[in-house]
Amino acid sequence: MRRQRSERSKFVSNKFIKGIIISFSTLLVLYLGISIYFTSHFYFGTALNGINITGKTAEEADKLLASRIESYSLQLEERGDTQEQINASDLGLKYTSDGKVQELKDNQNAFLWIFAPFINNNNEISGIISYDDAMLNKKIDQLDCVKGKNIVEPKNASLKYTESGYEIVDEVYGNKINKTALHDALVDAIQNNKTELNLDSSNVYENPKYTANSKEVLDAKDLADKYVSSKIDYTFGDNKSVELNGSTIHNWLEVNGNFELIFNESKVKNYVYSLGDKYNTTGITRDFKNSSGATIKVSGGDYGWHIDGSAETQDLIETIKNGQTVTKEPKYSQKAASHSSNDIGNTYVEVDLAKQHLWFYKNGSLVVEGNVVTGNAASADTITPPGVYLLKYKEKDTHLKGTDYNTPVSYWMPFNNNIGIHDAWWRPPTDFVATTYLGNGSHGCVNAPVELAKTIFENIEAGTPVVCY
């Protein structure tokens, strides 16, 4: 009984071993057979330049690739739901293997086919597909998306001023093509046998640099809102004032290429100069009540209020940048005694050119008066010009120099360039009469007796008005 069981067990074991050997042999034959197949064919799952060449021989792959190139077409998906097509004939496409496909096949290890599903068999070979670059560029120039009549330029987001502040205007993407980017995208599509190319996702459009959500745009809006919140109340005396606010300020704000908010200083300066045109009093025609009691018109000269355009422009810009609400006077390069209609005030020198007489008033009181000799009326080059002037300075013991003279004086008080009041010690008392200036006048200065010049000099200060009429 035991012997029968032993023999049966041995039989089963032998049969199992035989089964394993047969199965292994079968699998080996199958493996070797498939390996032999892949000595001349590409692995399953093999692609070349985007074309499936699974199970193809090198020759078959060459023919497939060549036929695909000959019938190649590429559809362009453009903005605005429009399409255009480029064909192989538009590009001069050619397939030239030069043995590269066979070389790829020869590099494939036939006995490793079993691992093919686990490796990447997407192959790229450059140079087997060629195109005519001149034809490609010509085709690009012919595309509607490049030369069409409905090309819309991209436009950055912008700022729009309203009564309640600034609003952001959305950017415009438009549909303008970057030809260089399109060229590169087309070359990539051709080389990889792509049949569709979405121009938007290929980034070939010229897009706006700044959108409504760009930090630069949001920052510029905040800054612009701050600037136009400024309120400046300019005062000019006698209850005269000018209010400046955002309705004017926004016209001076600009955005540069980096979306930085800047002031157009030229526009700001023009505004400041417009204030000067209205409120400067230098050279204007004034009503002047003279010492004889008559009210006369006096024009010309350099006395009066004069806004310093450059200084006030910079000060105004800084005020706006700080978002301030202020009441202020503009910066002046020159000031008068007051902002009233009589801006000369009650301290001044009065020179009557017809009477050849001078009066000097200080704080409304007459300090001194006397006859003088003014510019020689016989020549237009030597007359004393009428007008209201500003005494520039005073200087003691100096020399007056000209082309034909060099004269020492004790008291020099210039008010109109090289024209001034000074002592004329060389003139006798008989010269100081109303007719001397008609033929024996000065070079333009106001000649005064020594004591008259001395008294004026000792009581006058720079900036005092000098009225000549």
Same domain, 392 and 302: no
Assess if residue 385 is contained within a domain: yes
Final residue of a domain: which of 311, 334, 357?
334
pLDDT of res. 12: 57
Domain containing 450: what range? 348-468
Which pLDDT belongs to residue 11?
58
- The active-site residue out of 145, 306, 445, 468 is 445
Single out the residue in 334, 369, 394 at which a domain terminates. Answer: 334
Q: What is the mean pLDDT of residues 101-111?
A: 90
Distance of alpha carbon 127 from alpha carbon 148, whole angstroms? 33
State percent of the chain over pLDDT 70. Answer: 97
- According to the model, what pLDDT value does residue 329 have? 96
- Looking at the domain assignment, is residue 304 inside a domain? yes
Predicted local confidence at residue 123, as pLDDT: 86
pLDDT tens-digit series, residues 263-294: 999 999 999 999 999 999 999 999 999 999 99
259 plus 366 within the same structural domain: no
What is the predicted pLDDT for the residue at 116? 82
Judgement on whether residues 354 and 456 belong to the same structural domain of the protein:
yes
The mean of the pLDDT values for the chain is 93
Same domain, 313 and 360: no
Residue 451 has pLDDT above 90, yes or no: yes
Section 81-85 average pLDDT: 96
**What mean pLDDT is predicted for residues 54-79?**
91
Looking at the domain assignment, is residue 128 inside a domain? no
Query: Which tens digit of pLDDT belongs to each residue from 31-49?
Result: 888 889 989 999 988 998 8
- For residue 106, being part of any structural domain is answered with no
pTM of this structure? 0.72
369 and 327 co-located in one domain? no
One domain for residues 328 and 353: no
- Is 145 one of the annotated active-site residues of the chain? no
pLDDT at 158 over 70: yes
Instruction: Flag whether 166 is in a domain.
Output: no
Q: Do 352 and 459 share a domain, yes or no?
A: yes
Residues 384, 424 share a domain:
yes
Q: Is residue 330 domain-shared with residue 369, that is, in the same domain?
A: no
Q: What is the mean pLDDT of residues 320-349?
A: 95
CATH number at residue 254: 3.10.20.800
Kindly name the residue from 41, 145, 306, 422 that is annotated as catalytic.
422
Q: How many domains does the chain have?
A: 2
pLDDT band at 255 (very low <50, low <70, confident <90, very high): very high
Kindly state whether residues 369 and 329 are assigned to the same domain.
no
pLDDT band at 90 (very low <50, low <70, confident <90, very high): very high
State yes or no: is 250 an active-site residue: no
Q: Are 224 and 310 in the same domain?
A: yes
State mean pLDDT over 346-374: 98
Contact 449, 424 (CB under 8 A): yes
Domain boundary at 282, 311, 334, which? 334
Which CATH number is 445's domain given?
2.40.440.10
- Residue 4, pLDDT above cutoff 60: no
314 and 246, same domain (yes or no) = yes
Any domain includes 244? yes
